[in-house]
Structure 1
C-alpha cells in the first residue's frame, strides 16, 4: 500500500504552472512521469492536481513506454514529426464530405430562403439563422447542431450584419458637394491668415432629464437604480445642448438650453459663447467664420435664421461669415467628432437628473490632446412657429451678401450696420 500523502500546495502550484507551459504531448508525458514516480494512486493524484483525465495519463504512459522502441539517442514525438504536436489526419471528415447529398440539400434550402440585390450580385440576404437552418434541414432528414449550421452559413458568406445608413434620400450632385467642401476649406485658410476665429457650430441631440437609463458604465461600489423603461412622461425635463467649437484653439463652449431648439436659441447660444468665453481670446477680432449644418434651426435657406443672425451681428458688433456644409454631410462638421463625442463619453453611465448635474459633467470634459470645455445654462423660453418679418424680406439684401452658388446652400456674409 502506498502511503504517499501528496505534495504541499506550493509544489502542486509549481506542477500546474510548469504543465501549462508545455505543449499538449509534452504535458501528458510529464504528467505520466509524475504518476509513475509516485506509484500506486499516482494517476488519480496527478490527474486531480493537473486537471487531466485518467485516459490522458494512460496515453502518456503508453507514449513513454514506446519511446524506447526507436533510437534512444533521438526519441521521436508521438506525431512522428518534430514540428507537429498531433498526428496528421485526426478527426472525422465533415458531414458534407461523408454524405455528398447533404450539400445538395443545403444548397436547395438556402436558394429557397435567399434574396439578393437587383443591382449588386455580391449583396444577398436570408431570413435563416442557425436555429432555423437546423429545423429546415431536419425536415429533409438531416440532423445537425446550431454550431454546424452557423459554420455552413458563414461558409456561404452569410453573417450577422447590421443595416448601414448610406442611401441618400435627396438629390446630391457630388461635383457641387466637393466644390462646397473646397470652398469651406478656402474660407478657413483665409480666416486663419486674417487671424479671425473659426467656429464650428451645431446642436447635439436632445437629452431627457430624470432617473432614466443611459448607455455606458461608470465606477461605483454598486449599480444605481433607474426606471425600467425610458418613457418620455417619466422625464423631469429635457436639455438642448448647443456647442460652439473653436477649430484653431481646440476649445469649446456648450450652452444647455431647457426650452426648444429655434434659430433664436442658436443665436443666443452663439452670443453667450462669444461674450463669456471667446471675446477675451480674440480682442482684435472684426469678423467670425461660423460653420453650420445645412438643415435644422440653422437651415441654409431659412430667412428667419438669417434675420436672427443679423441681430446677432449687431449684438456682438462683428461681421459674420456663414458657411453651410452640404446636405447629408453633417458628420463632417468638426464639432461632431471633436466635441460631441467627448461630451457623450462624459455623460456615459451617468444619471442626468437635473440640468446642473449635466452641466457639471460637461465642464469636466477633457482630452489628452488639450480640449477644454466651458458650459452655461440658458433657462429661457423659446416659441416655435415664429415667422420672418415683412420688413426684413424687403431690405435683407442691404445686410446680406451671397457667395456664388457653389452648392444648393448659399454661404453668406452679414454686416451689423447699413
Structure 2
C-alpha cells in the first residue's frame, strides 16, 4: 500500500475521530495492511505511537479488549483523602482576609502564610501532622480558593492597636456560629464612597468614544451605595441614596431588607451584623443604638453587633462586592441616577444580580440622645466581656447583644 498525501490525511482524520479501543483497532488494521515495516512507517508518516499500535495488534489478534482506567492514574487530590480540608481552610482564612482597597480586582489578601494555616489546622481543627499535606500543597489550595499570600504594601492596614487580634479572634467565633446554628443569619453592611452623577470621566475604557467634562466641581447630584451582603448565601442587596448615610438611614435600610426577605427565613431568631466602627453606626452612637434596639423589639429578633477593628474594615465581606460594582461602571458615563442604578442592576456577584433600590427619603445628621435616654438604652443591651482573656477581657465596644424577647 502506497501512502499518498490524500490517503495520509484521510487516515489521520479518521483516527482522530475515534477513541480508545476503536482507535487502536483502526490503527492496527491499517498497519497490518501496510505489511512489513508498517509500524515504523505509520510512526514516521502518520505520527502514530508504536506502543499504541502494538496494543491494538494484540487486541486484534487475541480478541481481548483492554479496558482504559484513566482515573486510576496519578495521585488523588488532598481533598479526596480529607473531604473537609477546603472548608476548614476557608473557615480559618476568611476572617483574616481583606479585599483590594482600590477595588480594581476581586483578589483577597490574607494575613496568614501557608505554613501558619497548616499549623492552625493542627492546633484548632484537630488534624494530625502526618495526615496533612505539605505547606506547598496548602499554598496551592489557598490560591485555588482565591486567596493571595503575596504582601502588597497598599493593602496593609495603616495602624494596628492592641485589641486588634483579640477582636479578630472573637469575630471568628461569632461568624462561625452563623454556619453552625441555622437560627442565626449573618449580614455584612457598609457604604461605598459617594459617586458624582454627571458627564464626568471616571477612568477605564469604553468601546464608544464619549466626550466628557474636564472637571466635576458641580455634579447634578451624588449617590451613595449602601450594601447588605449575606456571606453564607452570597446574596447582595444595594440601596442608593442622594441623602446622607445616617444612623436612621442604616436602620431604615435594614428594616426594608427584613420586611421584604424575612419570609425566606422563618427559623431565624438572631441577626449578626458585621460593620466597621464608623461614626454613624458605632456602638457609642446614641441614635444608632436607639434605632437598632427598636428594630430588635419590633421584629422580635436578637441582634448581635460584631464590629471590625479600626483600619481593618476592608476585612468585612461586603467590601469584596464593591470591586464588581466599580468594574460594571468602568469607563461609563453616569450622567443620570437611572444610569447608575441600571449598571448596578446588571452587575453579577457569584452569578446573581443584586437587588437594587433607590431610597428617596432625606435624612438629617447630628441626631443625638440625652445621657439619661442613652442610660435607658444601655440597660437594654449587653456588652461583651471575656473573663478568660487575661489581656483584653472587655471588648464591649465591639461586640453587643440586643435581646428582642428571645433568649440567645
1:260 aligns with 2:244: yes
**Which residue is 1:229 aligned to?**
215
**Which residue is 2:13 aligned to?**
none
SS at match of 1:241: strand
1:330 aligns with 2:330: no
**Which residue is 2:41 aligned to?**
none
- Normalising by the residue count of structure 1, what TM-score does the alignment of the two structures yield? 0.55
Task: Show CA shifts across 1:63-107 (max 9, x none).
Answer: xxxxxxxxxxxxxxxxxxxxxxxxxxxxxxxxxxxxxxxxxxxxx
CA distance in 2, matches of 1:356, 1:241: 13
Match of 1:209 among 183, 197, 201: 197
Q: Offset at 1:201? A: 0.5
1:397 aligns with 2:378: yes
1:304 aligns with 2:287: yes
* Kept in 1: contact 2:224–2:242 (CA 8 A): yes
Q: Offset at 1:238? A: 0.8
CA distance in 2, matches of 1:295, 1:389: 20
CA distance in 2, matches of 1:286, 1:236: 43
1:356 aligns with 2:338: yes
Q: How do 1:3-402 residues align onto structure 2 when only pairs under 5 Å count? A: 164=154, 168=158, 172-173=161-162, 176-195=163-182, 196-220=184-208, 223-231=209-217, 233=218, 235-276=219-260, 278-337=261-320, 339-367=321-349, 369-402=350-383
Q: Offset at 1:390? A: 4.8
CA distance in 1, matches of 2:372, 2:268: 30
Q: What are the ranges of 5 or more consecutive residues in structure 1 without an aligned counterpart?
A: 1-161
SS at match of 2:171: helix
Q: Offset at 1:410? A: 2.8
* RMSD across aligned positions (CA): 2.3
* Kept in 1: contact 2:187–2:229 (CA 8 A): yes
Distance 1:207 1:282, change over 3 A: same
Distance 1:316 1:355, change over 3 A: farther
* Kept in 2: contact 1:180–1:406 (CA 8 A): no
CA distance in 1, matches of 2:201, 2:323: 18
CA distance in 1, matches of 2:357, 2:161: 38
SS at match of 1:291: strand
Number of positions where the alignment pairs a residue of Structure 1 with one of Structure 2: 247
CA distance in 1, matches of 2:157, 2:263: 44
Task: Show CA shifts across 1:327-359 (max 9, x none).
Answer: 11011111111x111111111122222222211
* Kept in 2: contact 1:355–1:377 (CA 8 A): no
CA distance in 1, matches of 2:360, 2:206: 29
Q: Offset at 1:301? A: 2.4
Q: Offset at 1:165? A: 7.4
CA distance in 2, matches of 1:242, 1:359: 12
CA distance in 1, matches of 2:194, 2:204: 17
SS at match of 2:211: coil
CA distance in 2, matches of 1:328, 1:272: 29
SS at match of 1:297: coil
* Kept in 1: contact 2:228–2:236 (CA 8 A): yes
Flag the structure with larger Rg: 1
* Kept in 2: contact 1:250–1:372 (CA 8 A): no
* Kept in 2: contact 1:346–1:361 (CA 8 A): yes
- Normalising by the residue count of structure 2, what TM-score does the alignment of the two structures yield? 0.56
* Kept in 2: contact 1:245–1:251 (CA 8 A): yes
**Which residue is 1:40 aligned to?**
none
* Kept in 1: contact 2:302–2:405 (CA 8 A): no
Task: Show CA shifts across 1:31-74 (max 9, x none).
Answer: xxxxxxxxxxxxxxxxxxxxxxxxxxxxxxxxxxxxxxxxxxxx
Higher relative contact order (CA 8 A, sep 6+): 2
CA distance in 1, matches of 2:298, 2:199: 39
Quick check: 191-200 or 245-254, which moved more? 191-200
